[in-house]
Amino acid sequence: MTANFDTELETRLVRYAAIDSQSDERGTASPSTTIQLDMARLLAEELTGIGAADVQVTDYGAVLATVPATAEGPVVGFLAHVDTAPAFNATGVKPVVHRRYNGGTISFADAPGLVLSLEVSPYLGGKLGHDIITASGTTLLGADDKAGVAILMTMARHLLADPSIPHPKLRLAFTPDEEIGRGVDKRLPADLGADFAYTLDGGQVGEVEYESFSADGAVVKITGVSAHPGYAKGKLVNALHLAAKLVNLLPQQALVPELTDGREGFLHLYEITGTAAEAELRFILRDFELDGLEAKGALLRQACEALAATEPRATVACEIRAQYRNMRYWLEKDMTPVNLARAACEAEGIAPVSVPIRGGTDGSRLTEMGVPCPNIFTGMQEIHGPLEWISVQDMAAATRVCLRLAGMAVRG
């Protein structure tokens, strides 16, 4: 692929990143936040403008479209998610382009004490001369996954502008609520109508991922006994004190994200809210194997039971729900989509790399629901925080791989 996509990708990402589209796990609607529909409507308008067919915004907030076939082959899906992570501020994102990176530190206009360096992000060392995009220091960038959105929109625009390029029917989906584990509505597999698909939601160049965490979410609700603090002796049962005791009953020196890597799973407390009367603790449980995931759930339940035994006047309720499962369980039975993506990388002179994702994608759920869906790189780095960055040239490499992949899917 000889086309240069740098300018288009940069323009798209800068435009998309400036739109606030965070998801919210406490939201009960679909999508969980109405601001995600701002992105959805924009993409639907742009897809119509470049000539895509079957453009629609579903009632669950996903944008669907077709790039009509110019050759016979399987129907191939491509997905990216429009929401950004609720883990850090994403309101008022001001993307900044640092041209021709020189290997030094990158500073942030709105956070003078913040520094992006090779020590923090060694992957920068391979990006000399690249155009690096960051936010301004007080927000995340949102390249997760608006880089994927920009890549797929650029691919679609390129193919629709030149019908002489052979490719089978392509189905595009831009989903909401991926960051809170609700990106794949039960209707999406049928609505997508793909034989297999790919999420554009990966990191370093060459990543073709077919193994993810298996994931559960847990909510622990502690109800104490409320009383006036001036007359509380023998009456008050402080839910916040009990919450602190629960945290101390759980592992602190192991099985936590900051002390695990590789194939190690974890039990992660990420939010505590409440008052002396009632407190709520939210956890995520992660492991690559189902027995390991179950063990972490059992550990949390045991801690809750032990806490409840110390104070019979309180109630401690623990609810654990499934989020997604390791897509390897299904993909390893038929590696055709994975091998096709690897071959596309190699055809572009990129060495494919397959490592387990210490997280999950919409592809995890889609694969479980019957649409094989490995994950392809975008270039995004240091996601979910103010140091998030991406190389425009890495995004261009992902665009070329997707185009190559679409061409290689042509039957015969």
Torsion of CA 24, 116, 129, 90, to 10 degrees: 20
211 is in an annotated binding site: no
Q: Are strands 375-377 and 196-202 parallel, antiparallel or unpaired?
A: parallel
167 annotated as belonging to a binding site for a ligand:
no
- The sign of the torsion formed by the CA atoms of 368, 326, 401, 158 equals positive
Alpha-carbon span 19 to 92, nearest angstrom: 8
Amino acid at 65: A
Is 130 annotated as contributing to ligand binding? no
Give the DSSP H/E element, type plus range, for residue 193.
none
Q: How many CB atoms lie within 10 A of CB 205?
A: 24
Strand intervals (E) in 226-356: 266-274, 278-287, 315-324
Element (H, E) at 77: strand 76-81
- Provide the angle, in degrees to the nearest 10, between the axes of the packed helices 6-17 and 143-161: 130
Catalytic center residues? 83, 178
* Sequence letter at residue 313: R
- Please tell me the chain's helix, strand, coil percentages from 3-state DSSP, rounded to the nearest 5: 35, 25, 45
Q: List the Cα angle 289/293/294 in 5-degree steps.
A: 120
* Residue 191 assigned to a binding site: no
DSSP code per residue over 106-165: EE-TT-TT-EE-TTT-GGGGG-TTPPEEE--SSS---HHHHHHHHHHHHHHHHHHH-TTS
CA-nearest of 380, 288, 364, 295 to 331 is 364
β-bridge pairing 278-287 and 266-274: antiparallel
Residue 384 annotated as binding site: yes
Residue positions in the annotated binding site for Zn(2+)?
81, 144, 179, 201, 384
Residue positions in the annotated binding site?
81, 144, 179, 201, 384
